[in-house]
Amino acid sequence: MNPVRKRVAVLISGRGSNLQALIDAAGETGFPAEIALVISDRPDVQGLQRAERAGIARQVLMPKELGGRAAFEAALDEALRKAGIDLICLAGFMRILGAGFVARWQGRLINIHPSLLPAFPGLDTHQRALEAGVKLHGCSVHFVDAGVDSGPIIGQAAVPVLPSDDADSLADRVLVEEHRLYPRCLELVCLGDVQLRDRKVTVASSAAAKGAALANPGAR
Ligand code: GRF
């Protein structure tokens, strides 16, 4: 018997290519989650069109229009609860959520970040990686805590930094791995295969044996 699929909300601000990867994964037989709701803090973004094409409920919540962050987060909370959401995925959501919101969703709120955390939290990660001269770069999926890109890491995928790279070419290479990593990490969380203790995530040995816990699930 299939376990009950988790109801996932994806929060976006733009292009939504990671949203698309999650939508595609959720369409696979046996995937333990459905994308039940997409919320954007900007109107007219490509991610909303992707959600529409997939027949997923969508909402635009704009902090400015709602009267600020507190009102925005209250509206967000309400939308998520009304939709019976179990888990939130941030996917290119360009807003920092307040400590109260984060605490309410602790352990049920995950994010993808385009660097190998704890290196390069924040913005412009690809340019910063190039400037630092790192030889490996990549992406991380992590539980969200009250800091910026500082929560416990669930999974990571690495790519080489090539001498010919500029920020765009490096971003493209990382993005391919983001699209592989995020669905796999979501799957682990939905199946209850990750345990969060003392800010560290461990992956159940059964999932690890299947290779789901590899640091680089995209390795070929
Ligand atoms: C991704 O690189 C994600 O890691 C970062 O913002 C970008 C969003 O891209 N947080 P998309 O909207 O998923 O295409």
Cα of 60 to ligand 1 centre, how many Å? Answer: 18
Separation of alpha carbons 47 and 27, rounded Å: 17
pLDDT at site 177: 98
Cα of 2 to ligand 1 centre, how many Å? Answer: 31
pLDDT at site 3: 65
For residue 2, what are its two tokens? 């299939």
Which helix (H) or strand (E) segment is 78 a member of?
helix 69-82
Binding site membership of 106 for ligand 1 (Cβ less than 6 Å): no
Binding site membership of 178 for ligand 1 (Cβ less than 6 Å): yes
Cα of 156 to ligand 1 centre, how many Å? Answer: 15
Separation of alpha carbons 82 and 126, rounded Å: 37
For residue 42, what are its two tokens? 């900007």
Q: Which of 111, 128, 212, 119 has its CA nearest to residue 170?
A: 128
The full set of domains in the chain, from first to last, is 1-95 (3.40.50.170), 114-138+154-220 (3.40.50.170)
Contact present, 25 and 5 (Cβ < 8 Å):
no
Binding site membership of 17 for ligand 1 (Cβ less than 6 Å): yes
179 is catalytic: no
Q: Determine the straight-line distance between the first and last CA of the chain, rounded to whole angstroms.
A: 32
Separation of alpha carbons 177 and 173, rounded Å: 7
Residue 66 one-letter amino acid: L
pLDDT at site 208: 67
pLDDT at site 207: 74
Reading the chain (220 residues) residue by residue, the pLDDT tens digits are: 456 899 999 999 999 999 999 999 999 999 999 999 999 999 999 999 999 999 999 999 999 999 999 999 999 999 999 999 999 999 999 999 999 999 999 999 999 999 999 999 999 999 999 999 999 999 999 999 999 999 999 999 999 999 999 999 999 999 999 999 999 999 999 999 999 898 899 998 777 666 554 555 555 4
- Nearest atom of ligand 1 to the alpha carbon of 20: 13
pLDDT at site 212: 54
Cα of 1 to ligand 1 centre, how many Å? Answer: 35
- Nearest atom of ligand 1 to the alpha carbon of 112: 4
Q: Which of 95, 123, 89, 124 has its CA nearest to residue 18?
A: 89
